[in-house]
Amino acid sequence: MSINASGWRPEAPVAGGKASPTVTGNKGLMLEEALIFEIGDSETTGVDFASSPSPLRGAGRGEGPSGTSLGSLARTAPIGLPGLSEPETVRHYTRLSRQNYGIDLGFFPLGSCTMKHNPRLNEKMARLPGFADIHPLQPVDTVQGALGVINELAVWLTKLTGMYGVAMSPKAGAHGELCGILCIKAALEARGEGHRKVVLVPESAHGTNPATAAFAGFTVEDIPATAEGRVDTAALKARLGPDVAAVMITNPNTCGLFERDMKAISDAVHAVGAYVYCDGANFNAIVGRVRPGDLGIDAMHINLHKTFSTPHGGGGPGSGPVVLSEALAPFGPLPFTARYEDGHLALIEEETAGDEHPHTFGRMTAFHGQMGMFTRALTYILSHGADGLRQVSEDAVLNANYILRSLEKTLDAPFAGSGPCMHEALFSDNGLADGFSTIDVAKGLIDEGFHPMTMYFPLVVHGAMLIEPTETESKAALDQFIAALRSVAERAKAGDISLKSAPHFAPRSRLDETLAARKPVLVWKDPVLAQAAE
């Protein structure tokens, strides 16, 4: 016979052994990664250039052939930028990426944030050189296709919302809000009513609403909510008067409810000469089923990353086109596109604004807005079409109601009796054991492999948990989430102490935010140099 000389002999797996800590800090596929400043150096580069430049004449980067000189402006001191070779770079960022949760990985029920699937066709189309590799100041005859994208998306947005016009250039939702409020301010001033200084904002609003109104010079007044989670229409109407410039309303609202009185509110606001701004953050719940224009809205921003599936990218870039009523459209920002009868597209900028758009309040950004987001959003819209977009809102609302009704017996749902919810279901921390709050439920969900819901928002509910499933989730995914949240909630109600130190299975345990804020360390400092300096 021959004996297996390698020494390797398959054995039955042994269960339950206790792991020793690793010297690397790694845990199998969970890999620690140092900072580029700790692994790179200023002599390494991952880029090869076609040819090294021959040194210009003069001292160092001194005099050039035509007498050009950087002279004393040459940067001589070390900058402190570490470089990595390409494989090190790929590994560094790949490892970092694996410490992130993304919608590609699993359910991401962040209420009010609309984390839906990001189709890869969007990415492919945005990268077509005809869109990705054109300069914003090229002669307009050379960018007719790009202007065509902007124009086509603008048509879709106005038709989907039933509005008159749209400002495409705002760079994100909050920038769009600012755009809408600036339109309102310009319209009031054009009417000689610049004295209207009050903007009414329901207390359940996103924080950006009051911040935007205050930035534009308005005084913000809160409007209370009713016990059922909607705007107190009577209180709002009572406050309306000749000093009111606008009302900013989120609809569907941040409690996940449709504002039933929206049309009546708009009529009352218009009757006193003020305007209605709608925060369109939650448009995903009604796209294809309700047009804000039919509810008397004057301005509404649309977060393309929420309703129209452009990626969130870990916090931007966003894009916040603003649809406008006929009353406000003349005041919208530059630049914008115009289509002539012969099909030619023009870009209306400062030069031609005088003829085409004399009442504009001005420019909000250097160029034409988030073109890369426009191509993605248009790709998504064309994929779904008018019928598909209607199905999107139906499925989003169905999924949210399914979660609400499946969990209302486990968690306190303060507005469960206020009718169906729209795109998101709201729960509170009422009923959890003493000392347990929303954050413990959230961190427990992390250990179950889910991204937590939105916590502590809206402010009108104590320990709010706002869950927005979107249309992206299958029934199986929802059922799994519901089972996990039920389990975590029951543990929180029973006072399971292990939740207080959750998450246990994430790349990091709970982080000390107090330490970070008391002694902010915002940039990396070489510990050796830092020590030498002390």
Which of the stretches 237-245, 322-330, 485-493, 514-522 binds other proteins when contact is defined by CB under 8 A? 514-522
Is residue 462 involved in binding other proteins (CB under 8 A)?
no
Choice between 9 and 120, CB closer to other proteins: 120
Is residue 524 involved in binding other proteins (CB under 8 A)?
yes
Answer for which of 31, 220, 348, 433 binds other proteins (CB under 8 A) is 220
Choice between 11 and 534, CB closer to other proteins: 534
Is residue 484 involved in binding other proteins (CB under 8 A)?
no
The pair phi, psi for residue 280, each rounded to 5°, is -90, 20
Helix (H, G, I), strand (E, B) or coil at 427: strand
Answer for which of 5, 79, 532, 533 binds other proteins (CB under 8 A) is 79
Answer for which of 27, 41, 197, 498 binds other proteins (CB under 8 A) is 41
Question: Locate tokens 């009185």: which residue?
Answer: 261
Site for other proteins in 258-287 (CB under 8 A): 258, 260, 262-263, 286
Is residue 398 involved in binding other proteins (CB under 8 A)?
yes
Is residue 115 involved in binding other proteins (CB under 8 A)?
yes
Which distant-in-sequence residues (6+ apart) come within 8 Å of 40 by Cβ? 82, 83, 84, 88
User: Closest approach of Cβ 4 to other proteins, in Å?
Assistant: 43
User: Closest approach of Cβ 3 to other proteins, in Å?
Assistant: 47
Q: Other CB atoms closer than 10 Å to residue 124's CB: what's the count?
A: 12
Is residue 108 involved in binding other proteins (CB under 8 A)?
yes
Rounded Cα gap, residues 519 and 182, in angstroms = 38
Helix (H, G, I), strand (E, B) or coil at 55: coil
The residue count of the chain comes to 534
Q: State CA 389 to chain mean position distance.
A: 20
Site for other proteins in 238-257 (CB under 8 A): 257
User: Closest approach of Cβ 418 to other proteins, in Å?
Assistant: 9
Is residue 64 involved in binding other proteins (CB under 8 A)?
yes
User: Closest approach of Cβ 32 to other proteins, in Å?
Assistant: 8
Which of the stretches 232-240, 242-250, 483-491, 511-519 binds other proteins when contact is defined by CB under 8 A? 511-519
Q: Other CB atoms closer than 10 Å to residue 485's CB: what's the count?
A: 26
Tell me which residue of 193, 280, 323, 206 sits closest to 245, measured CA to CA.
193
Choice between 160 and 432, CB closer to other proteins: 160
Tell me which residue of 63, 332, 303, 39 sits closest to 181, measured CA to CA.
332
135: left (phi over 0), alpha (psi -120 to 50) or beta: beta
Which of the stretches 205-213, 270-278, 425-433, 490-498 binds other proteins when contact is defined by CB under 8 A? 205-213
Is residue 289 involved in binding other proteins (CB under 8 A)?
yes
Answer for which of 180, 202, 452, 458 binds other proteins (CB under 8 A) is 452
List C-alpha distances in Å: 41 to 74, 88, 118. Answer: 22, 12, 36
Is residue 474 involved in binding other proteins (CB under 8 A)?
yes
Question: Residues touching other proteins: how many (CB under 8 A)?
Answer: 214
Answer for which of 22, 26, 98, 435 binds other proteins (CB under 8 A) is 98
Answer for which of 165, 175, 276, 432 binds other proteins (CB under 8 A) is 175
* 3-state helix/strand/coil string of 161-198: HCCCEEECCCCCHHHHHHHHHHHHHHHHHHCCCCCCCE
Answer for which of 11, 141, 355, 534 binds other proteins (CB under 8 A) is 141
Which of the stretches 69-77, 269-277, 460-468, 487-495 binds other proteins when contact is defined by CB under 8 A? 69-77
Q: State the burial class of residue 82 (Cβ atoms within 10 Å of its Cβ: 0-12, 13-18, 19+).
A: middle
Choice between 29 and 366, CB closer to other proteins: 366
Which of the stretches 234-242, 344-352, 426-434, 484-492 binds other proteins when contact is defined by CB under 8 A? 344-352
Paired residues of 334 in beta bridges: 363
User: Closest approach of Cβ 42 to other proteins, in Å?
Assistant: 4
Helix axes 208-215, 173-190, angle to 10 degrees: 40
Paired residues of 95 in beta bridges: none
Which of the stretches 239-247, 270-278, 291-299, 322-330 binds other proteins when contact is defined by CB under 8 A? 291-299
Rounded Cα gap, residues 79 and 489, in angstroms = 51
User: Closest approach of Cβ 254 to other proteins, in Å?
Assistant: 12
Q: Report whether 100 contacts 314 (CB < 8 A).
A: yes
Tell me which residue of 92, 82, 83 sits closest to 46, measured CA to CA.
83
User: Closest approach of Cβ 235 to other proteins, in Å?
Assistant: 19
Is residue 204 involved in binding other proteins (CB under 8 A)?
no
Choice between 249 and 371, CB closer to other proteins: 371
Q: Report whether 431 contacts 411 (CB < 8 A).
A: yes
User: Closest approach of Cβ 119 to other proteins, in Å?
Assistant: 6
Buried b (16+ CB within 10 A) or exposed e, 524-534: eeeeeeeeeee
Is residue 117 involved in binding other proteins (CB under 8 A)?
yes
Paired residues of 230 in beta bridges: none
Rounded Cα gap, residues 475 and 35, in angstroms = 41
Rounded Cα gap, residues 469 and 144, in angstroms = 38
Stretch 373-392: interaction string toward other proteins, x if CB under 8 A: x-x--xx--xxxxxxxxxxx
Amino acid, res. 197? K
Q: State CA 392 to chain mean position distance.
A: 19
Tokens of 52: 């090294």
Stretch 405-444: interaction string toward other proteins, x if CB under 8 A: xx------------xx-x-------------------xx-
Choice between 11 and 342, CB closer to other proteins: 342
